[in-house]
Amino acid sequence: MAKVNTRRRRTGSRRNGIGRRALRSIISGLFLRVVLVGLTVGVLFFLHETIARVILRSLGLAVIPVLIWIVIVAWMLWRGRFGSLLRHWNSWLGALLLSAAIIGVMALFRPEVIIAGVPLSDETLGGALGQLIGGTTYTWARLLGLGLLGVIFVVPRTLRYCLIFARGLASLIWQVAFNLLVLAAMGLLHLARKLLSGVSSLARLLWIKLASSEKSRVQSQKSRVEKERETPERSISGLQTPEVGEGKKTPEQNVSELQTLDSRPLTRQLPPSELLDEAPKANFARGNDAERAELIEGALASYGVEVKVVQVNPGPSVTQFGIEPGWIRRYRRVVEKDQNGKPRLEKNGNPKVHLEEVSKTRVKVDRITSLANDLALALAVTHVRIEAPVPGKPLVGIEVPNISTALVSLRNVVESPAFQKARTKSKLVVALGQGAAGEAIVADIAKMPHILIAGATGSGKTVCLNCIITSLLMQATPAEVRLVLIDPKRVEMITFNGIPHLITPVVVEIDRAIETLRRLTLEMDHRYRKFASLGVRNIDTYNRSPKVTESLPYIVVIIDELADLMMTAPDVAEPLICRLAQLSRATGIHLVVATQRPSVDVITGLIKANFPTRISFAVVSSVDSRTILDTIGAEKLLGRGDMLYVPPEAHKPKRLRGCFVSDEEMDRVVAFWRKWREKNLPEPLDRVAQAFSSLAIEQMDLDPFLEKARQLCQESGHISTSLLQRRLHIGYPRAARIMEQLEEEGLVESREYASRGQGSGARPWEGEP
């Protein structure tokens, strides 16, 4: 049965083979006939002119590739190579597309040639077939597409190699162009740097020339003043000595005289800057900056924090390194493979792998700030301060102490362009020092408007106060700024006694200090009444008003040691200081308060809330730093003028190196103003100081709790010293003084009433029925 099936299969295959051969012979026979017809037409082409014209117009010279294709196909069919045509169909299709593209390109040319009586200038080399392939629009695009398709079908693998080569060539061209752009940018930067250096040198020369001209002008003015002093006759207009036997003035008259200096015109002479010592250029040893920058980068990299030092700003006490946070990169292992998809092997037989970057994120600033102690260990310093970020820059500042610090003289800051520009806008500009990058730092007390200074003993707190006072004396006359100096230490501000800017001599007694603060509150209230009468809001508007004939001077109150006042009379000093700090800004009264014990019982919450500007020198602990600055950092300062400054518009402290003024410099400035006072404002004629000393003395002795004591009398119907102590939370001496004031007002009976038989108990209120 199996043999029968096998025979049947063989018989069927033979029949199929015979059928295929018969079909092939029929097709080849037909094609041969077509070829013979074509050859016949070709012969007739040369024999008959009409047929030649038809062929040339339809095919043109493209008849040659058409005949070649006909001959090739006929030969393959004749030889029985039809299977080869099917196996290599892509090559034949590509060749056909290339031939079509060639015929289309031939149709683009119209030569001045006549063939068989047909001028090709009227037709084309490709004839009507070429025009049909090229079309009327986008001809080159079509022909290029046909050519590319033909190449793709003919040589696909070669095309891939060509694409790889073209990609490599494009990347090479891009790298060369990028390097050329980088070189051009570097050249432009070098040229810009040279231009900037030239401009800076030119500006320096102009500044030196202007400074020399200003110095010569000051010297000529000084010589002119000396000549004027030699003249015996000198008239002082508008001054009248108080007549003998003149009646005593009322408190309102005294208050009105406090508003200004005398109505006489005073010569506005200011001390020259030559009275201050000019410190040499800041020469300080700060170490190798490049080495320190590498240490910072290496120390942070060892903890997995990538940074780059992009800026180095040397200062008088510290050097600030500006670092740019890097990236946190994540990688994955990738096995390299060849063209066949198999892994490549190394010499030891292991698969060859490489790392591929998957993602990257910026390093967080908190990671840098948490490594402050590790940076100090790597740099071999006691501590470093990290400012994150640097104001106005996308950098994190690391402040490293220098090996030796430099002295910042007051004259260098006073002569700086920043100070000269600021003094044209305000009379209360003071020099504070130099920043971490060496720039001059100045401040306007009128904008602060009150300053709170704290620092341990020897940290530079008193020197800062001396610099503030000297800065005011260098730019303002007594008609513009008046000073009130309170010095419980008794020795720090005695140098300034005798200058005309003082309303009262330097106050050293606690009782007189409290009295002075009360007089200032009365002066503030009177100024507000003056403003209300003219409808103005502050002292600047009042002085510019055309209705005002005499302007009001600013009053700067400087207290050297707040702790003494708070320890001796806290219940009196704190309300007065807080009231002045809350209300005195508009009236031109400003407070500068310093203490060496920044604890919460000295700098209370109410005082701190009214002093937006704060300066902290080196303190003992971080608790004191938080008390004065609301943040840590002051406990790490270097001392001797190193301070943190918090202006009212900033939220973070700024590190400064404070100015230094010697005793000799202060003596020279004070001597200048004493001579000025002898010639322009003698002691008997300074009515401003006289009016302040006699300002409503009868109102000064009233205790602030007196009104509460009156209310307590009305509520309880009786009053006693112990009752005042319990209800008002005050001590016995103050309660006794309040009782005496109530007796003077007649609200309670005197002690004689108790001695006549009423005992030592509570005394009745006279308003009681």
DSSP H/E element including 374: helix 372-379
What pLDDT shows up at residue 246? 39
- The whole-angstrom separation of Cα 289 and Cα 319 is 9
Locate all alpha helices (DSSP H) within 681-730, ordered by sequence: 687-693, 697-700, 706-716, 721-728
- The whole-angstrom separation of Cα 349 and Cα 354 is 15
pTM of this structure: 0.57
- The whole-angstrom separation of Cα 700 and Cα 254 is 14
- The whole-angstrom separation of Cα 702 and Cα 112 is 126
List, for the chain, all residue ranges whose pLDDT scores fall below the cut of 50. 1-2, 4, 47, 228-266, 684-685, 696-698, 700, 751-761, 764-769
- The whole-angstrom separation of Cα 611 and Cα 589 is 13
- The whole-angstrom separation of Cα 152 and Cα 306 is 50
Strand bridging mode 118-119 / 114-115: antiparallel
Longest dimension (CA), the chain: 169
Taking a C-beta distance cutoff of 8 angstroms, is the pair 496, 466 a contact? no
Which residues, in sequence order, are CB contacts of 16 under 8 Å at separation 6+?
none
Locate all alpha helices (DSSP H) within 394-509, ordered by sequence: 410-414, 417-423, 461-473
CA-based nearest residue to 404, from 504, 284, 311, 287: 284
Which residues, in sequence order, are CB contacts of 485 under 8 Å at separation 6+?
469, 493, 496, 502, 506, 507, 558, 560
Torsions phi, psi for 123 (to 5 deg): -100, -150
What pLDDT shows up at residue 234? 33
Which residues, in sequence order, are CB contacts of 609 under 8 Å at separation 6+?
none
- The whole-angstrom separation of Cα 410 and Cα 665 is 10
- The DSSP code for 694 is T
Which residues, in sequence order, are CB contacts of 167 under 8 Å at separation 6+?
none
CA-based nearest residue to 614, from 739, 454, 470: 454
CA-based nearest residue to 436, from 625, 637, 609: 637
CA-based nearest residue to 687, from 263, 288, 321: 263
Strand bridging mode 554-559 / 589-595: parallel
Taking a C-beta distance cutoff of 8 angstroms, is the pair 527, 588 a contact? yes
DSSP H/E element including 483: strand 481-486
Taking a C-beta distance cutoff of 8 angstroms, is the pair 294, 375 a contact? no
The string over 307-344, giving b where at least 16 C-beta atoms fall within 10 Å of a residue's C-beta and e elsewhere, is: bebeeebbbbbbbbbbbbbbeeeeeeeeeeeeeeeeee
* Residue keyed to tokens 């100090």: 376
- The whole-angstrom separation of Cα 617 and Cα 644 is 6
- The DSSP code for 321 is E
